[in-house]
A = this chain, B = another copy of it.
Amino acid sequence: MTMNKPKIVVLGAGYAGLMTTKKLTQNLLPEEAEIVLVNKHNYHYETTWLHEVAAGTINPNQARYMLSDVVNPNRVRLIYDTVVEVKKDDQTVVLENSDITYDYLVIALGFETNTFGIKGMAENAFSIVDIDSSRLIRDHIEYQFAKYNNEEEKDEDSLTILVGGAGFTGIEFVGELAEKVPELCKKYDIDRSKVRIINVEAMPSILPMFDKDLVEYAKKSLEDRGVEFRLGAKIQECKEDCFVVGEDNEEIKAGTIVWTGGVTGSSVLSKSGFEITKGKVTVNGDLRAPGEENIFVLGDCAWVMNEKEGRPFPPTAQAAMQHASVCANNIKALMHNQPFENFVFDDKGTVASLGVTDGIGTVFSGTKLRGKPAATMKKVVDNRSLLLMGGTRTLLKKGKYRPF
């Protein structure tokens, strides 16, 4: 390693960051640049699988793999640490345990929970953010079930699982819960009828990204499996054991409360002086932060405008992985004074699972799927990201081949 090699620092090993790192090792020769990947954990996790970890339908280890298994150590320096702040003027990233300078910086630090200031939500609700927080939900639910038969005075509310938010995560999560609850009832000798799964949403409908017929299908399918919906119900407050909803401050009690109703980009962005719109940086078409020569912002930290439609592309894992290609290409272009490419989202479709054997989706520019075909497609999508990011061995070890 020569000292004059430019240093590319990638922050975050999620879909965007890990894929950028891999693409950089393909785009650049070893002597062209030093590549550093900074991540809080020594593993990558599949963010889009976390609702399954939280429900306990998959093992947490299936949803993650070691970075050292998928990143070439001869090409990439791995630093396991938490990012505190980016000091743009010093071209330095402050980590909890050290500082690191950069020539090119990729910020792909993912999302944090956004409670929109709902009173008590941050304190009293769980969120599905990472492996730690997701398996905590699983263990919390199991603990409620384990306690139930030991109580002299049984509190059936303790078995209720309350999920705030009917977006992708909230709906996929209740879908998994509908699978898991009968299993837990059997395991803990509890009557299924005593357990409630309640989804609360301020909007009048679930899954706003899908067409009405698919949404109706999804809602009915979940209701048939015991999920209760409280739509058009604004959460006024989250207390330790309930949501307070609606004009009349109705209390919906529960032993487990999970908030899936909002996310925002990493708080490192605002701490580091980037201009923020709705929690994220609105990047240029080349994915650089406005006014920054050498800083790219990707994945859930970025809004990338769809100039044709005048609104941002949806912030999905699929998009994040596509950001990575554009970013890695543009870093190479920047190093070689070549022209940049602009990001255009290549939408391969969207599929939501509703448990193991059910789902809805829109794929191949408009084809609608529901039921088993959607569930199958969802697993294809999940396995695809494993293959793209983790390679064949990871796919074989962690892939979803559940029989159904």
Complex CA gap A44/B44 in Å reads 44
Residue ranges of A at the interface with B (Cβ–Cβ < 8 Å)? 41, 60-61, 132-133, 135-136, 138-140, 142-143, 146-147, 149-150, 187-189
B142 touches A139 (CB 8 A): yes
Q: Which residues of B contact A60 (CB under 8 A)?
A: 187
Q: Which residue of chain B has its CB nearest to the CB of A137?
A: B146
Do A139 and B136 touch across chains, with their CB atoms under 8 A apart?
no
List the number of copies, as a whole number.
Answer: 2
- Among B136, B146, B147, the residue within 8 A (CB) of A150 is B136
Inside 8 A of A140's CB, which chain B residues have their CB? 143, 146
Give min CB distance, A159 to chain B, whole Å.
Answer: 14
B139 touches A135 (CB 8 A): no
Contacts of A135 in B (CB 8 A): 146, 188
A61 to B41, CA, bound (A): 35
Q: Which of B41, B132, B139 contacts A139 (CB 8 A)?
A: B139
Chain B residues with CB below 8 A from A138, complex form: 146
Given contacts A139-B139, A139-B142, A142-B143, 4 further A-B contacts (CB under 8 A): A133-B150, A135-B188, A140-B143, A142-B142
CB-based nearest B residue for A131: B189
Q: How far is the CB of A358 from chain B (nearest CB, A)?
A: 28
What residues on B are CB-neighbors of A142 within 8 Å? Answer: 139, 142-143
> In the complex, which residues of chain B have a beta carbon less than 8 angstroms from the beta carbon of A139?
139, 142-143, 146-147
In the complex, what distance in Å separates the CA atom of A139 from the CA atom of B41? 25
Bound-complex Cα distance A136 to B187 (A): 12
**Would you mind naming 24 contact pairs between A and B with Cβ atoms under 8 Å apart?**
A41-B189, A60-B187, A61-B187, A132-B146, A132-B149, A132-B150, A132-B189, A133-B150, A135-B146, A135-B188, A136-B146, A136-B147, A136-B150, A138-B146, A139-B139, A139-B142, A139-B143, A139-B146, A139-B147, A140-B143, A140-B146, A142-B142, A142-B143, A143-B143
Whose C-beta in chain B lies nearest to the C-beta of A64?
B189
**What's the minimum C-beta distance from A127 to chain B, rounded to whole angstroms?**
10
Which residue in chain B gives the minimum CB-CB distance to A135? B146
- For A146, list chain B residues within 8 Å (CB): 132, 135-136, 138-140
Q: Could you tell me the distance between the alpha carbons of A142 and B147 in the complex, rounded to whole angstroms?
A: 13
Q: Which residues of B contact A149 (CB under 8 A)?
A: 132
C-alpha spacing A187/B62, complex, angstroms: 12
Alpha-carbon distance A136/B145, docked complex (angstroms): 9
Docked complex Cα distance between A143 and B41 (Å): 21
